[in-house]
């Protein structure tokens, strides 16, 4: 809801995403801070940053498919893998512009996603969730068993150093800025999708697909579209991952990764793009915390033994996620929305 006293005199302003000037200013300041981030932190945070951006793109795609359209998707990591492989293959073509390879990688992944989207037209609920697990298994099998000249087989694909607009983007900083740019573009695109009639069809199908069908929405087409969007986002994220690591292999895209992405989406809050971003940030920081605190804890309590401390920290992470789900199943965005609302209504209670 808008703060008291804010009103608009034209339809387009009423519908705008960024509603008031202070909000626009805050957004610009935030983006500026993100751009300047690498200049005042050490390298660890920069690589963490672009890893977070890449994951966030995939989670946004997942949010559109699962949070907005209600189609449970446990194969997001496989779609990422398809995009990564496609992008890596395309980048072997001499003279291929980086962004074009990224885009085409995303489109390849989208095609793969559409195949599974077609099953979604028939299969619902848990069965759908579990067929997307089949996507993971099939991806793994295909990559390992297709001829090595095509997809690199067991060893994966390697990329030599890449050029973007004439500059070498091997350094962590340039990777950070590239991923930041792509993330901003993809997030804007995501907002565009969910606020359009397609987004509304997604939500209608999520809420009650039989009723949506009766009102004239093409339910099967909508579901396929949801998977297409999710896979496209995942494919772009995978392409960025290939560019960042310059090495893709099958073990980077496992079922566990898909599960973590779902966890990020849930922690952030289903049905909100900003929630996807917040959830990704939260979970990645938590994992980072576990990794960094571990060695210090070991030094504090040497009798515990390294393996117990690290295993214990994973227990902690799992517990945090579970506790979160128990006590705030609607995710962090719900808390944020409550906070925003009570701030705007203050001093009134409702």
Partner 1 sequence: MKFIRQFAARAAFALAAVGAAAAPAHAQTVYQIPSLSDFSGPFASVMPFFGGSREAVISWWNAEEGAKLGVKLEMKSFDTRYDTAQTASLWPGVLASTKPIIGFSLGGPDTAALQQRLPNDKVPMILGSASNGFGWRPNQWVMSTRPTFVHEITGFVEWFQKTKAGGTRPVKVAMFTTEASPSFADMGKGVIAYAKANPKVIDLVEMVYVEPQPADVTLQLRRVLNAGAEVVLVPASIQQAVAVKRAMQALGKNVPLMFSAHNALSVLEKPLGGYAALEGDYEAHASVVTGVDDSEARRFYDMLVAKHGLKAPWHAFTGLGIGQALVLVRGVEAAARKAGGDKLTGELLHKTLLETELPAKAFFGFTGGDVDFSIDAPFPLKDPRINIGQVSGGKLKNVATSVTVPKLNKW
Partner 2 sequence: MMDFLNYVLNGILLGEVYALLSLGFVVIYRASKVFNFAQGELMLLGAYTVWTLSLGANLPPVLVVPVAFAAALAYGWLIERLFFRRLVGESVFSMVMVTIGLVILIRGVVLVIWGAADRQFPALLPTAPIILGDLLLPTSMVIGAAFTVVLTAGLWYFFNRTRFGLTLTAVAEDPYTAISAGIAVKRAVTLAWMLGACIATVGAMVLLNGRSLSVLSADVALAALPVALLAGLESIGGLLLAGAIVGVIQSLVAAYVDPRIGGSASSIVPFVFMLFILVVRPTGLFGWRHIERV
Binding interface with partner 2 (CB under 8 A): 72, 119, 122-124, 126-127, 129-131, 133-134, 137-138, 140-141, 144-145, 208, 210-211, 214, 255, 259, 262-263, 266, 270, 307-308, 311-312, 314-319, 321-322, 325-326, 329
Q: Does 294 bind partner 1 (CB under 8 A)?
A: yes
- CB atoms near residue 193 (< 10 Å): 19
The minimum distance between CB 298 and partner 2, in angstroms, equals 14
What span, in angstroms and rounded, lies between the C-alpha atoms of 132 and 318?
Answer: 23
Q: Which residue has the tokens 């940053």?
A: 49
Q: Does 8 bind partner 1 (CB under 8 A)?
A: no
Position among 23, 131, 174, 252 found at the interface with partner 1 (CB under 8 A): 252
Q: Does 218 bind partner 1 (CB under 8 A)?
A: no
Task: At 42, give phi and psi (nearest 5°).
Answer: -90, 175
| Contacts (Cβ under 8 Å, ≥6 apart) of 100 | 90
Contact by Cβ (8 Å): 132, 116 = yes
Q: Does 316 bind partner 1 (CB under 8 A)?
A: no
Contact by Cβ (8 Å): 109, 234 = yes
For residue 248, the SS3 value is strand
β-strand partners of 167: 164
Cα-based distances in Å from 6 to 3, 11, 14, 276: 6, 14, 10, 28
Position among 62, 80, 128, 245 found at the interface with partner 1 (CB under 8 A): 245
What span, in angstroms and rounded, lies between the C-alpha atoms of 77 and 347?
Answer: 46
Q: Which of residues 40-69 bind partner 1 (CB under 8 A)?
A: 42-44, 46-48, 51
When the beta carbons of 145 and 342 are compared against partner 1, the nearer one is 145
Q: Which of residues 151-170 bind partner 1 (CB under 8 A)?
A: 152-156, 158-161, 170
Residue 262 partner contact from partner 1, partner 2, none using kind-dependent CB cut-offs of 5 to 8 Å: partner 2
What span, in angstroms and rounded, lies between the C-alpha atoms of 27 and 32?
Answer: 8
What span, in angstroms and rounded, lies between the C-alpha atoms of 335 and 321?
Answer: 16
Contact by Cβ (8 Å): 238, 109 = yes
When the beta carbons of 291 and 300 are compared against partner 1, the nearer one is 291
Q: Does 305 bind partner 1 (CB under 8 A)?
A: yes
Residue 181 partner contact from partner 2, partner 1, none using kind-dependent CB cut-offs of 5 to 8 Å: none
Q: Does 150 bind partner 1 (CB under 8 A)?
A: no
When the beta carbons of 38 and 117 are compared against partner 1, the nearer one is 38
Judged by the rule CB under 8 A, the positions of this chain that interact with partner 1 are 42-44, 46-48, 51, 141, 144-145, 148, 152-156, 158-161, 170, 172, 244-247, 249-252, 291, 294-295, 305-307, 309-311, 313-314
């Amino acid at each position: 809801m808008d703060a008291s006293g804010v009103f608009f005199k034209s339809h387009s302003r009423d519908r705008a995403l960024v509603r008031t000037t202070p909000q626009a200013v805050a957004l610009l300041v935030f983006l500026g801070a993100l751009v300047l981030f690498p200049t005042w932190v050490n390298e660890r945070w920069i690589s963490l940053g672009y890893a977070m951006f890449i994951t966030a793109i995939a989670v946004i795609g997942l949010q559109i498919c699962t949070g907005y359209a209600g189609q449970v998707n446990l194969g997001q990591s496989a779609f990422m893998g398809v995009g990564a492989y496609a992008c890596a293959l395309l980048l072997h073509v001499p003279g291929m512009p980086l962004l074009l390879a990224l885009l085409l990688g995303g489109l390849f992944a989208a095609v793969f996603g559409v195949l599974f989207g077609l099953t979604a037209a028939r299969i619902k609920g848990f069965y759908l969730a579990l067929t997307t697990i089949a996507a993971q298994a099939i991806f793994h099998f295909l990559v390992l068993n297709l001829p090595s000249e095509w997809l690199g087989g067991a060893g994966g694909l390697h990329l030599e150093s890449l050029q973007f607009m004439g500059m070498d983007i091997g350094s962590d900083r340039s990777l950070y800025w590239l991923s930041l740019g792509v993330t901003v573009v993809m997030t804007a695109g995501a907002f565009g999708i969910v606020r359009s009639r397609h987004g509304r069809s997604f939500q209608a199908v999520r809420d009650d697909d039989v009723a949506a069908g009766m009102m004239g929405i093409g339910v099967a087409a909508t579901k396929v579209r949801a998977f297409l969007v999710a896979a496209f986002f995942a494919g772009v994220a995978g392409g960025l991952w290939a560019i960042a690591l310059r090495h893709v292999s099958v073990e980077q895209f496992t079922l566990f990764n898909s599960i973590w992405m779902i966890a990020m989406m849930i922690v952030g809050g289903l049905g909100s793009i900003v929630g996807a971003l917040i959830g990704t940030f939260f979970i990645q920081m938590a994992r980072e915390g576990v990794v960094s605190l571990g060695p210090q804890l070991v030094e504090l309590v040497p009798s515990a033994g390294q393996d117990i401390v690290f295993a214990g920290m994973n227990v902690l992470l799992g517990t945090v996620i579970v506790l979160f789900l128990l006590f705030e199943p609607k995710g962090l965005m719900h808390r944020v929305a409550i906070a925003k609302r009570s701030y705007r209504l203050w001093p009134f209670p409702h």
